[in-house]
Chains A and B, each alone.
Chain A
Amino acid sequence: MLFNEEEVRKSATQLRKDIINMISKSGSGHPGGSLSAADIMAVLFFGDVMRYSAANPQLPDRDRLILSKGHAAPVLYAALARAGYFQPEELGTLRQLGSRLQGHPDSQKLPGVEVSTGSLGQGLSIACGLALALEAGGNDFAGVDEPGGNDFAGVGEPCGVGFVGNAAGGDEAVGVVGGADAVDAGVLGAAGGTTDVPKKSPLKSFSSNSRRVFVLLGDGECQEGQVWEAVMFAAHKRLKNLIAIVDNNKLQIDGSVSAICNLDNLNTKFSAFGWQVQEIDGHDVNAIKLALEYATNSEFEGPRVIIAHTIKGKGVSFMQGECGWHGKAPSEEQRLAALAELDDGSLISQSLTSGGTL
């Protein structure tokens, strides 16, 4: 599956519609932070980035994704369903008694969920441990201690197993923002340039850090102290296979992040801790794709973070930028209005920069 901008956009819209339908049906849930992450998740799952196997969720050589902002479970469930982990009809069971789709992700119930999350601030630490162990040759089968991973053979993966092509180097980046004077510069809205490099055989190209760990955090979540324990640790251990993405939607339950406890400049904060930082429009699938390629392929000797500027509630006019929609279900009327807007697509195509939100 090669990166196809239009297809990924369509996937993102599908995820958004799934989110609206799920939360409307369950009568509770978190639409705002799910919608803001839809484009990121669409690129990870359907943009030739993550290696995974819906048919074999425990595939040893899969990339790992940890949804540290666990309340955005609906976007993860939608992505898993659309990737083939389970039938999309099951999305309608969200938050119901007996459902595998818990209010926050439960790894004991739903294949594809690597670890249960929901208590904010813990995902990055978990990702650090995973990245460290995978780099050292760990795998899912106890008792094996040889360095290097298992091979890929003998496993049918119907979808999503792709290999990222050559790096979109930092040189191609335009619109550097933030004060990232350290190491790799930030990339904002990197233009065009889909990667059409043929898929390499994963069998031959695994390097020591070939199994990558992606972790999606919220910006509000970065108020948790444990996040910064992990940020420090990841840099200290030079975890090259760790890629954090901050869904920087600038809102939290009680209001705007800047008003409640300002994170100020996340870019300089991560840079100061020794991370490679990119800063992008988190609703521009091309920018997300390029940033992920750069993060996964650069020679930088340390962890990488992509600060994705997003809009909470993105794609639904009455939810966008409204912290009241952090954890509220739409009425039937609102559901239909939201679906109509998503079908229309004009809000989705609006870039952050043109809206002046960044």
Chain B
Amino acid sequence: MSATGQDLGLLDTMTQKSEAPKKATRSAYGETLVELVALGHDIVAIDADLTGSTTTAVLGKKYPDRLINVGIAEQNMIGVASGMSLAGKTAFTGSFAVFGTGRVYDQIRNTVCYSKLNVKIVPTHAGISVGPDGGSHQMLEDIALMRVLPNMRVLVPADYTSAKAAIRLAAGTPGPVYVRLGRASVPILYGEQFALSSYESHHDLCHESLAESHGNLQDDSSGNAHKLTEDASQMSGGFAFGKANVLRTGTDISLIACGIEVAYALEAATILEQHGVSAEVIDVFSIKPLDETTILGSIKKTGAVVSCEEHMLTGGLASAIAELLANNPGVCKRPLGRIGVDDRFGTSAEIDELFAEYRLNAKSISNMALSVL
């Protein structure tokens, strides 16, 4: 992995965070569903009285029969989605992440995952970046909850472009998928060019062996996947299940981030550069399956790592990397640095205040990197 940000189609402005155009990942939701329905996907969205916030209302406005609003009844939301998937629909669920995963955990476990249904768990408002609504609404355990479920795949898009890709991938891939979306406006890291490039796009995502190496997947360019599936995966460009993207190459430390933290990690790399530290930044778009090859390769090269997520330190990305390192002893020469929320609930405040208070911002990441080194 020697690609630079520019090679990957990153927007030129991305290294200067303040100048970057911003958009919330949730804003990709409804509009991408509209695009997929227009392409012929048999998609329905089932939401629970939050269609404006999740943006599924955009789908309902264009295709009224494709949006089911069950009211404030999240358990029923998952059940109805499950039933519709049994009739052949690709069912996307909504609500906020705290309710759309935590409140309905048993429904997701025992109905969606146990029956391996074609239900996509795509709530919005994940993480502490929900802001002023406070701890009750700041979901910090969802990656952990979804990651441990058999049959579930977990995508954590870092920006609007990758959020669109995640939704397309989810639609084009049979079985349960969790896509973590946020409320906050976050820098757009990837250009449309990257999202629409044909880079590794043609593999047959219907295949169950998604965790397998990219090499295997590339054999399928003329595969006989369902046409719609192929469309969806092509449109997902450089994003795929089990694939992390190296956004900045470096030699001294690997900053391995997901979601909103990717932008902060890029900013931290700039800070670290001023300290003479060369940081590599990796966007772990797919938490499960995990791109072990890219992540291990980077850590082998740098010998040090900091994980970055707006999620509990337990169960999420940090845990996934710790598990990977435990299975590969000797790769990491330094203690695992972890940026995340340390066993406490969130609180009401503006996002910048929260990311300072909970030590999730660029300064916190660069400080952690320096302490690890």
Say whether A229 faces chain B, with CB atoms less than 8 Å apart: yes
- Residues of A115-137 whose CB lies within 8 A of B: 115-119, 121-122, 124-134, 136
Say whether B226 faces chain A, with CB atoms less than 8 Å apart: yes
The CA-CA distance from A352 to B136 in the complex, in Å, is 50
Task: Tell me which of B40, B80, B82 has the highest count of chain A C-beta atoms within 10 A of its own C-beta.
Answer: B80
**Closest chain A CB from B41 CB (angstroms):** 8
The CA-CA distance from A156 to B186 in the complex, in Å, is 56
Contact B79 A125, beta carbon cutoff 8 Å:
yes
Say whether B6 faces chain A, with CB atoms less than 8 Å apart: no
**Closest chain A CB from B103 CB (angstroms):** 11
Contact A116 B111, beta carbon cutoff 8 Å:
yes
Q: A116-B115, A143-B40, A229-B75 are in contact. Are A129 and B65 (CB under 8 A)?
A: no
Say whether A273 faces chain B, with CB atoms less than 8 Å apart: no
Contact B83 A133, beta carbon cutoff 8 Å:
yes
**Closest chain B CB from A207 CB (angstroms):** 17
Q: Among B40, B75, B83, B107, point to the contact of A127 (Cβ < 8 A).
A: B83
Which residues of B sit under 8 angstroms from A64, Cβ to Cβ? 86
Name which of B87-95, B193-201, B298-306 contacts chain A: B87-95
Say whether B318 faces chain A, with CB atoms less than 8 Å apart: no
Contact B89 A133, beta carbon cutoff 8 Å:
yes
- Residues of B81-127 whose CB lies within 8 A of A: 81-91, 106-107, 109-111, 114-118
Which residues of A sit under 8 angstroms from B71, Cβ to Cβ? 232-233, 236
Contact A115 B42, beta carbon cutoff 8 Å:
no
The CA-CA distance from A194 to B228 in the complex, in Å, is 49
Contact B82 A129, beta carbon cutoff 8 Å:
yes
Which residues of B sit under 8 angstroms from A129, Cβ to Cβ? 46, 79-87, 91
Contact A128 B76, beta carbon cutoff 8 Å:
yes
Q: Among A106, A114, A225, point to the contact of B114 (Cβ < 8 A).
A: A106
Q: A116-B110, A126-B111 are in contact. Are A138 and B87 (CB under 8 A)?
A: yes
Contact B114 A126, beta carbon cutoff 8 Å:
no
Say whether B73 faces chain A, with CB atoms less than 8 Å apart: yes
Q: A116-B115, A229-B70, A229-B73 are in contact. Are A122 and B86 (CB under 8 A)?
A: no
The CA-CA distance from A121 to B89 in the complex, in Å, is 22
The count of residues in chain B whose C-beta lies closer than 8 Å to any C-beta of chain A is 38
- One digit per residue, 1 when the CB lies within 8 angstroms of any chain B CB and 0 when it does not, for chain A 193-229 equals 0000000000000000000010000000000011001
Which residues of B sit under 8 angstroms from A144, Cβ to Cβ? 42, 88
Contact B82 A115, beta carbon cutoff 8 Å:
yes
- One digit per residue, 1 when the CB lies within 8 angstroms of any chain A CB and 0 when it does not, for chain B 47-86 equals 0000000000000000001001011010110111111111
Say whether A108 faces chain B, with CB atoms less than 8 Å apart: yes
Which residues of A sit under 8 angstroms from B76, Cβ to Cβ? 125, 128, 226, 229-230, 233
Contact B115 A115, beta carbon cutoff 8 Å:
yes
Which residues of A sit under 8 angstroms from B90, Cβ to Cβ? 142
- Residues of A222-262 whose CB lies within 8 A of B: 225-226, 229-230, 232-233, 236
**Closest chain A CB from B120 CB (angstroms):** 14
Contact B80 A233, beta carbon cutoff 8 Å:
yes
- One digit per residue, 1 when the CB lies within 8 angstroms of any chain B CB and 0 when it does not, for chain A 134-162 equals 10101111111100000000000000000
Which residues of B sit under 8 angstroms from A108, Cβ to Cβ? 114-116
**Closest chain B CB from A283 CB (angstroms):** 29
The CA-CA distance from A130 to B44 in the complex, in Å, is 12
Say whether A107 faces chain B, with CB atoms less than 8 Å apart: yes
Q: Beyond the given A119-B111, A138-B87, please list 16 additional residue pairs across the A-B interface where CB-CB is below 8 A.
A: A107-B115, A122-B106, A125-B79, A126-B80, A128-B83, A129-B79, A129-B85, A133-B87, A139-B88, A142-B42, A142-B118, A143-B42, A226-B76, A229-B73, A230-B80, A233-B71
Q: Which 7 pairs across A and B sit closest by C-beta, in order of nearness? A: A125-B79, A129-B83, A133-B87, A138-B87, A229-B76, A129-B80, A229-B73
The 8 listed contacts between A and B (C-beta, < 8 Å) are A116-B114, A119-B109, A122-B79, A128-B76, A138-B84, A225-B75, A230-B76, A233-B80
Residues of chain A touching chain B, judged by Cβ–Cβ distance below 8 Å, are 64, 106-108, 114-119, 121-122, 124-134, 136, 138-145, 213, 225-226, 229-230, 232-233, 236
